[in-house]
Amino acid sequence: MQRISKFILFTILGWKLENDFPKKPLKYVVIAAPHTSWVDFPIAILSRMASGTMIHFIGKGSLFKPPFGFFFKMLGGTPVDRSKSNNLVDAVIDVFNEKDEFRLGLSPEGTRKKVDKWKTGFYYIAKGANVPIVMATLDFENKKIKISEAYYPTIDKNEDFKVFHSFFEGVKGKNPELF
């Protein structure tokens, strides 16, 4: 599958990869932005498969219903009910603590719509599970996938978010007006 994914992503679609997902540590949170189109998902899955690194994801429950629900689960997805007020951060921290190897990809925007402020769940998941954050972006203007080294959050949330935002500066999503 890795060879086929590389062929599709790099040869047919013309994307380039700047860095790769870290092989170590074995656990981390991936934040991917900007998330402005449904096209982000297949490109992200292809890049994950091309790298040979399993990165799980969570998505709205409706994606996991028949007839395609099995497909999203097979790709490493887990449904979440966003209409309920549940403690998703603690539940995901528990998953990290139960596994020897686990990487979770999240969109800090939490939606494909334009947002004024990122959600902070990814940050508290990483802090609570004591795992680093890896930043990944799909730059549609340059057809470049950029991936950071593992970044360990500090005690200064504001400074950490400056690091995150600077990584994504100047990147054009599929629909740049939404970022």
- What is the chain's pLDDT, residue by residue, as a tens digit (179 residues)? 899 999 999 999 999 999 999 999 999 999 998 888 899 989 999 999 999 999 998 877 888 899 988 888 888 888 776 555 568 888 889 889 989 999 999 989 877 777 778 989 999 999 999 999 999 999 999 999 999 999 999 999 999 999 999 999 999 888 877 66
For residue 96, which of 134, 61, 56, 53 has the smallest C-alpha distance? 56
Using a cut of 0.85, tell me whether the model's pTM lies above it: yes
Three-state secondary structure call for residue 154: coil
CA distance 33 to 137: 5
Q: What is the pLDDT of residue 82?
A: 58
Q: What is the pLDDT of residue 85?
A: 53
Token digits of residue 97? 């603590």
